[in-house]
Structure 1
Amino acid sequence: MNVHHKMDEADRRNRLDDMAQGVLSTPMDRPEGPLKVSGTAPYAHEAQPEGMLHGCFVRAPRLGQVTSMNADKALAMEGVHTVLHADKLLRNPCQGTANEAPVQGVRDVHYVGQPIALAVADSFEAARAAAQAVTFEITDADRNPVTPQDYETPEDKQSAQGDLDKAMRDAAVTVDQTYSTPPHNSAAMEPHASIAQWDGDRLTLRGAYQMLKYNRNELADSLGIDPKKLRILSPYVGGGFGSKLGIAQEAVGAALAARELGRPVGIAMTRQQVFEATMRRSETRQRIRLAADAEGRLSGIGHDAWVSNLPDETFSEPVTQATPFTYRGAHRHIGHHIARVSRTCAGSVRAPGEAVGITCFEIAMDELAHAAGIDPVELRKRNIPEEDPTTGKPYSSNMLAKALDAGAQTFGWDATCPAPGSRREGEWLIGQGMASAVRVNILMGSKARVTLDPDGSAVVETDMTDIGTGSYAILTQLTAEMLGLRPDQVDVRLGDTDNPPASGSGGSWGASSAGSSVFLACQGIRSRIAEQLGTSEEQLTLKDGQAIADNRSTPLGDLLNEPLESLGEIEAG
C-alpha cells in the first residue's frame, strides 16, 4: 500500500496526539546503543572483507599544477600494488544534495593538502610509506591575492526593500558595525572512510555518509556507472556535521582502485587529511546596519556578508538566511559576496549560515539595545513581526516571544543589567547576556516502508542515516506509537540504498522528513486494519498489540494472516 502526501497541502491535524500507546515523549534507551558502547556496531572501515587492500592518498604540499610524477620507488616497496593518478579522482567532496559528481581531476592543485594520487598496499602502513615515497613536480601557481573588486556578487543572492540609507539618516538610534568570524573545520569522531568491493560490474561501497539517495548518484556519476549497479551501506556514522553530506575523495579512490586491482580496497583518511581535504566553514566578514526609533522599533536592517570558496563551487556560506524574517523593519538590504580562494573547500558545517550570521546579528542587536537604553529582551520582543517582512506571508506560528519570556524567567533575567564591562568581582568582569536563536525549517522528499507481521512485530526500512542524532530511536518510537507496539517490537533498518530513499541526515530535516514518511506508512497500515474491522482509521485505537474499535478489542495477530506492508512517501521541496 502506498501513501503519498504533498507537504504544500494544508493539514493542521496532529494525529499523533490521538494515539494511545504512550511511547512518544518518554525516555528510552537507544536501540543501537548496546552495539555502539560495546564496540560491535560496524562503522564504515570496520566491516573489512577478506583480502582487502588499504589505500593512502598522496598530498600536495603547495599550489600549482602537477607536471610529472614518479612512483617507481613506491611500486618497488614490498606489499605495494599500485599508485593511481587518475583523472576521475576528486579534488574535493560533493556539496550537500549535489546529486552529481563534484570537480574531478587532481593535476591542478587548488589547496595545500589536496589529494593528487593514491597508493594501495597490503597494509595501511605500507600504503602510507608508498604515498610518502612518490615524487612529483608541481609548477608554482600564479594566483594573485583577492581584492575587493574580485568578489562575485550573484544577483539571486541580493535583495533590497525601501531606502535603507534614508532610514539610517532619519533614525533616532543606529548601529553600523563590521564583524568577522574565523573558519571552522569539521572533525567528526569517525574519519572519512570507505570500503569498495566489485562483483562483476556491480559495486558495493561501505561508507560514512549522511545522504545516501544523493550519494549514490554522486558516486555513480564520478565513476561513470549506472546508479542501479551501486549499493551504499552506511548503517552507522560516527558524526558528520555536514562534512559527510556528499561523496568524498576516499569513496571514489577506493572504487577506482578496487576496479583496477580486482580486490576490495578500503581507505580511511588520516586526521590530518580530514582537516585538509574535506570541508570547512568559510570565514566571514559582515557589515550590519540597524536603524530604530527612540523606542527601539526597527525601521531599517542591512546585512552584507563576504565569504569564500574554491572556483567552480556552487555553495557559499548562507550567512544572512535568517536575517530577512527574524525582525521587523520596512527598509532592508541583504548583500552576499563570494571570493574564490585557494583553500580547503567550503561547505556545510553544523548550522551553515545561522551559526555565524545570527551570532553577529544578535551582537548588533545588543549594541542597539545598549545605545537606545532598552532592555535587550524587550528590544527583541518589540521587533517580532506578525508576518514575513520580506514576502508579507503570515507565519503559521511564531514562538520567539514565548521563547524569550521563558528563557528570561528561567535565567532570572534582570532587565536593569549594568552596562557591559561595569561589574567586577575581584579580578573577574561579570556580565550577562541573551540572544535569539532561529533556524530555517526545511522538508525534503522521503520514503519509508513499514511491515507489520502477524507476530506483532514491525520492520521499518529506509535509507535514512543516523550520525549520532537518534534516527533509530526516533523512528522506533514513532512506529511503536502509531501501531500500538512496544519499542522492542520494532526493528528499524537504516543506511542501505536498497531501502526506500529517505531525506538523509542534514539541514535539521531528517527527523521531520524521514519521520513523516514513516508516519504515512504506518497510517497506511492503520487504514488497512480499520478496513478489516469495518471502521475508519480515525476511530481505530491500536494499543499493546490490540486493535480496538466499536468497544471491541482484537489481538493484531488474529487479524493478520500475512504481513501488512505499506510505503509512505512525503514530497517536499
Structure 2
Amino acid sequence: MNVIVGKPLTRVDGRAKVTGGAQYAADFNQPGQLYAVIVSATVGLGRVSEIRSANIEAMPGVAAVITHSNAPKLPYLLHKGVIDPAVGERLHVLQDDAVRFFGQPVAIVVADSLDHAEHAAAALRIIYDARRPVVDHADPDVARIIPDAAGADRSRGDADAAVAEAAVTVDEHYDMARENHNPMEPHATIAAWNGDRLTLWSKSQFLMNEQAEIAAIFGLPAESVEVICPFIGGAFGTSLRTWPHVTLAALAAKHVQRPVKLVLTRKQMFFTTGHRPRSLQRVALGATQEGKLTGVIHEGTGETSRYEQFTEALTAVTDYLYSCPNVRTQYRLAPLDTGTPNHMRGPGEASGIFALESALDELSYKLGIDPIELRRRNEPQIDEAENKPFSSRSLIHCYELGAERFGWSRKTPEPRSMRDGRLLIGMGTATATYPAFHAPSNARVRLLADGTAEVEAAASDMGPGTYTSMTQVAAEFLGLQPAQVRFRLGTTDFPPTPSHGGSWTMTSVGSAIRAACLEAQFQAAKRAIADNGSPVFGASIDTIEWAEGRLRRRADASAGLSYQEILAKTGDPIEAEGSAQRDPEAAERYSMHSFGAVFAEVSIDPDVGTIRVRRLVGAYGIGRVVNPLLARSQCTGGMIGGMGMALMERTVLDARDGRPVNAHMADYLMPVNLDAPEMEALFVDEIDPHVNPLGVKGLGEIALVGTAPAIANAVFHATGKRVRTQPIKIEDILTA
C-alpha cells in the first residue's frame, strides 16, 4: 500500500519560504499602486467634531484624504459568516462621526508613497467631542448581560447544594488578561478594481468569508470579488474575520481609481483586529474525602464591544471534562467601549481551563491526592452533559504516557520541597481538550497526462503545514508519490472551504480532498473501461481496483494501468470535485473531542521572583496523525503560546481613554528563543472511525490549551503561592 499519511515529510513549501519565493499579501504590488495609511481615533468614546484636511490634501504626493464627510455611503448588506458574532452589527467604517473605541479608523490618507502617506496622516488634525469610555469589566458597576447564544447557562443536578454540603471545597476567582495576537506578518490588503470587479490580495484565514463580507459591504455579487492569499505569516485567529482595513483599502482604491496598498502598523493591530477578551471567572468544587467530585460550579464573564456580542466557549469544557452528578455553568458578557474581541488560539477553552485546572490542582493539595490520581478518580465513562459516549477518549493514556516521559514520579508532594541549589523547583500538570470540529468543505483534483495530479481548495496556510499535509492525503489516496502532487490553495476561485481555524482544516478539507481523489479515480476507471484497447475494457466497475495508483482487474497479478497510460490516448485531463461533511448520525450519537495532558517544570529564584520554564511535555490523543513532524511543531508552538499566556502576555488599557498603553513589542511581552525550554510532544495511538473518514481530530488549538494551568500549578508547587491571575508576574511571587 502507498502509505504517505503518517510519515514525517518536510514542508513542500519550505524552500519557497526560506528563499523568499513565498508571496504574502503585501508582496503583490500592482502597477501604478498608491499607498494608504489609516488615521486612528485618539479618544476612546465620543464624536468627530472637526477634521482639518484642506492643507493635508495639498501636501506632496497626497492623492486623497477620505473621512466620514466625503466617503461614499456603502450598502453594508447583511452578512453573518460562521466566524462573525451572531448578535450585533459590524463596524461601519467611515459611515458616521461616532467614535466607539480608541484606535477606530476615522480617516484614511492615500499618497504616491508610504512615506508621503505616513507624513500626511500624522499631520491630519482631528477635533473630538470626547467622553470617558468604560473599558474595565472588573468594575462592579459594569452591566453583565446574558448572551443571545445557546448554552450560556447549563445545569445538571443541584451544584450549589452539592458544593455547600461537600466534605472538601474549593471556591476561588480567576482573572485572565486581555491578549493580542501579534503574529509576525501584519494585516495587509492590496485592492484593485477592474470596472465592478474587485481583487483583494489580503491576509485572510477565511477567504470565502472575506469574499462574501466585502461583496455585502459594497453591494456586489460574491463572484465579483476575488480574494488571494497563498501564504500567511502567522495569525492565531486574528485574520479569521474581515476587519475594517480591508474595506478601507477597497474603498480607497475605488475613490482614486488605482490599486491601493494598506498595511497596518504593529500599533494599529492592537486596535481593530480583535483580541482575546479578558475574562473573570469563579470555580467552586465540592468533593468527598476520597476525591470524588460531588459538585462543580463554573461562572465566567468575558468582555465584548457595545456593538457586537462576541462569545466563546469559556465554560464549555466544564460540562464534560470530569465525572460529576451536579454541575452548573454560567456565562455572561460585559459590553465595553472597545473593539470587538476575536477568537485567539484555543478560544474560550484556553481561558476556561486555566480556572478549572487550577481549582482542581488546589483540590488535590487539600485532599492530599496526587493531581493525576485525582483526575483518574473522576474520569467519566461518557459525556455526562450530552449523555453520549465519546467517539474516543485517551485522557488517562495521555497522563500515563506524559508522566512517564516527564518523570512525574520524581515529584515530591509538598510545595516548596524541591530545589536545585538556591532555586525553587516546581512540577505541575493540567488537562488539555478541544472539540473535534468538522465543517462542510470542497476540493478539486485534476489528473494530468504526465501522471501527476493537481489538487485545489480555497483553504489557507498560516504556518501549520497545510500545503504538506494535504499533499500527503492526496498522494496516499491517488497512489502517487508526494512529488507527483501539486496542492494549491489561497484563492476564492478554488472550491470553497471553511475557515483556517478551529482545528478543522485537516478534518474538513482533508476529507474533501479524499473524496475528490476517489471521484477522480472513478472517472479514470470509467475512461479505461470504455477504451477498447485497455486491458480492463468492458469490465464492470466492481470487478476492478486501484492499487499503488494503478488500475487492474481484481485478483489480476499484472501491473495494471497507470494514470499516464489511461490518459495517453486523448491527453485530456480528468477533473473531479469532491465534498465532505460530518456524518450526521455519528454527530448525533457521539461526543467528539481531542484530549491531552501537559506537564511543566519551572525554576524560580526566591530572591527576585523570576520564573523560568525548564521543561514542557505534552501527550495528546488526536486520532490519526497525518504528519508527526508537523504535528510536533504545532504542539511546541502551542506550548510557547501557553507560556506567553501564563507568564507574559497582557494588553493594558488606560482607563481614561481606552488606549492600549503597551501597543508595541517593547512592553507587550512574548516568549522569545531565549525563553524556549526543552519541549516534547507525544501522541498516543488513537483510532477514531467516527469523527471523519480520515480519522483525524485536529491539533492547532489543543496544543495551547492546558499549558498555562500546568505552568501555574508548577509555580504553586515551587513556591506554595497560588496565583489566580494570568500572566503571573514577579510581584505575585514576591508578595504574600
* TM-score, L = length of structure 2: 0.72
Counterpart amino acid of 1:418? Answer: P
Counterpart amino acid of 2:92? Answer: Q
* CA–CA distance in structure 2, aligned partners of residues 288 and 73 of structure 1: 58
Moved more, 80-89 or 274-283: 80-89
* CA–CA distance in structure 2, aligned partners of residues 105 and 88 of structure 1: 9
- Displacement of 1:525 in angstroms is 2.0
- Displacement of 1:418 in angstroms is 2.1
1:72 aligns with 2:78: no
Aligned to 1:46: 27
Q: Is the 8 A contact 2:282 2:355 kept in 1?
A: no
- Displacement of 1:95 in angstroms is 7.9
- Displacement of 1:544 in angstroms is 6.0
Can you give the 5+ residue segments of structure 1 that lack an aligned partner in the other structure? Answer: 1-19
- Displacement of 1:316 in angstroms is 2.4
Seen in structure 2, the aligned counterparts of structure 1 residues 390 and 98 have a Cα distance that, compared at 3 Å, is same
C-alpha distance after superposition, 1:1-42 (max 9, x if no partner): xxxxxxxxxxxxxxxxxxx11222223232221111111211
* CA–CA distance in structure 2, aligned partners of residues 240 and 548 of structure 1: 48
1:186 aligns with 2:168: no
Which secondary structure does the structure 1 equivalent of 2:512 belong to?
A: helix
Counterpart amino acid of 1:116? Answer: V
Which secondary structure does the structure 2 equivalent of 1:407 belong to?
A: helix
* CA–CA distance in structure 2, aligned partners of residues 478 and 432 of structure 1: 39
1:427 aligns with 2:427: no
* CA–CA distance in structure 2, aligned partners of residues 116 and 538 of structure 1: 68
Q: Of residues 382, 389, 393 in structure 1, which corresponds to 2:384?
A: 389
Seen in structure 2, the aligned counterparts of structure 1 residues 119 and 496 have a Cα distance that, compared at 3 Å, is same
Counterpart amino acid of 1:360? Answer: A
Q: Of residues 473, 482, 485 in structure 2, which corresponds to 1:487?
A: 482
Moved more, 312-321 or 322-331: 312-321
Q: Is the 8 A contact 1:465 1:495 kept in 2?
A: yes
Q: Is the 8 A contact 1:456 1:545 kept in 2?
A: no
- Displacement of 1:74 in angstroms is 1.2
- Displacement of 1:59 in angstroms is 1.0
**Equivalent residues in 2 for 1:186-225 (5 A)?**
186-225=181-220
1:103 aligns with 2:113: no
Which secondary structure does the structure 1 equivalent of 2:303 belong to?
A: strand
Which secondary structure does the structure 1 equivalent of 2:211 belong to?
A: helix
Which secondary structure does the structure 2 equivalent of 1:50 belong to?
A: coil
**Equivalent residues in 2 for 1:138-157 (5 A)?**
138-141=128-131, 143=133, 146-148=139-141, 150-154=143-147, 156=150, 157=152
Aligned to 2:247: 252
Which secondary structure does the structure 1 equivalent of 2:473 belong to?
A: helix
Which secondary structure does the structure 1 equivalent of 2:459 belong to?
A: coil
1:528 aligns with 2:514: no
Counterpart amino acid of 1:559? Answer: I
**Equivalent residues in 2 for 1:269-308 (5 A)?**
269-308=264-303
Aligned to 1:15: none
Which secondary structure does the structure 2 equivalent of 1:438 belong to?
A: strand
* CA–CA distance in structure 2, aligned partners of residues 439 and 335 of structure 1: 19
Q: Of residues 18, 35, 47 in structure 2, which corresponds to 1:37?
A: 18
Q: Is the 8 A contact 1:113 1:277 kept in 2?
A: yes
Seen in structure 2, the aligned counterparts of structure 1 residues 540 and 236 have a Cα distance that, compared at 3 Å, is same
Moved more, 42-51 or 274-283: 274-283
Q: Of residues 36, 46, 49 in structure 2, which corresponds to 1:55?
A: 36
- Displacement of 1:546 in angstroms is 6.6
C-alpha distance after superposition, 1:140-159 (max 9, x if no partner): 22556753561112363111
Q: Is the 8 A contact 1:449 1:565 kept in 2?
A: yes
C-alpha distance after superposition, 1:485-513 (max 9, x if no partner): 11111111101101110123100111110
Counterpart amino acid of 1:97? Answer: I
- Displacement of 1:475 in angstroms is 0.9
Q: Is the 8 A contact 1:375 1:415 kept in 2?
A: no
Seen in structure 2, the aligned counterparts of structure 1 residues 416 and 197 have a Cα distance that, compared at 3 Å, is closer
Aligned to 1:347: 342
* CA–CA distance in structure 2, aligned partners of residues 108 and 94 of structure 1: 23
**Equivalent residues in 2 for 1:560-571 (5 A)?**
560=567, 561=570, 562-571=572-581
Q: Is the 8 A contact 2:447 2:563 kept in 1?
A: no
C-alpha distance after superposition, 1:426-463 (max 9, x if no partner): 33111111111111111111100111123211011111
* CA–CA distance in structure 1, aligned partners of residues 371 and 18 of structure 2: 44
Counterpart amino acid of 1:130? Answer: A
Can you give the 5+ residue segments of structure 2 that lack an aligned partner in the other structure? Answer: 530-535, 585-736
1:168 aligns with 2:167: no
Which secondary structure does the structure 2 equivalent of 1:136 belong to?
A: strand
- Displacement of 1:174 in angstroms is 1.3
Aligned to 2:237: 242
Q: Is the 8 A contact 1:94 1:246 kept in 2?
A: no
* CA–CA distance in structure 2, aligned partners of residues 547 and 29 of structure 1: 32
Which secondary structure does the structure 2 equivalent of 1:414 belong to?
A: helix
Q: Is the 8 A contact 1:60 1:114 kept in 2?
A: yes
* CA–CA distance in structure 2, aligned partners of residues 272 and 545 of structure 1: 56
Which secondary structure does the structure 2 equivalent of 1:280 belong to?
A: coil
Counterpart amino acid of 1:225? Answer: L
Aligned to 1:509: 504
Aligned to 2:409: 414
Moved more, 349-358 or 512-521: 349-358
Aligned to 2:685: none
* CA–CA distance in structure 2, aligned partners of residues 95 and 123 of structure 1: 35
1:130 aligns with 2:120: yes
Aligned to 1:9: none
Seen in structure 2, the aligned counterparts of structure 1 residues 109 and 412 have a Cα distance that, compared at 3 Å, is same
Aligned to 1:16: none
Aligned to 1:558: 565
* CA–CA distance in structure 1, aligned partners of residues 50 and 474 of structure 2: 58
* CA–CA distance in structure 2, aligned partners of residues 37 and 535 of structure 1: 49
Counterpart amino acid of 1:120? Answer: V
Which secondary structure does the structure 2 equivalent of 1:150 belong to?
A: coil
- Displacement of 1:296 in angstroms is 0.9
Counterpart amino acid of 1:552? Answer: S
Q: Is the 8 A contact 2:180 2:274 kept in 1?
A: yes
Q: Is the 8 A contact 2:357 2:431 kept in 1?
A: yes
Q: Is the 8 A contact 2:544 2:552 kept in 1?
A: no
* TM-score, L = length of structure 1: 0.92
Seen in structure 2, the aligned counterparts of structure 1 residues 373 and 174 have a Cα distance that, compared at 3 Å, is same
Q: Is the 8 A contact 1:304 1:336 kept in 2?
A: yes
Q: Is the 8 A contact 2:85 2:309 kept in 1?
A: no
Moved more, 359-368 or 50-59: 359-368
Which secondary structure does the structure 2 equivalent of 1:478 belong to?
A: helix
Counterpart amino acid of 2:294? Answer: S
Counterpart amino acid of 1:349? Answer: M
Which secondary structure does the structure 1 equivalent of 2:432 belong to?
A: coil
Which secondary structure does the structure 2 equivalent of 1:277 belong to?
A: coil
Q: Of residues 322, 344, 350 in structure 2, which corresponds to 1:327?
A: 322
Counterpart amino acid of 1:133? Answer: A
Counterpart amino acid of 2:548? Answer: K
- Displacement of 1:89 in angstroms is 11
- Displacement of 1:384 in angstroms is 1.6
Q: Is the 8 A contact 1:99 1:214 kept in 2?
A: no
- Displacement of 1:96 in angstroms is 6.1
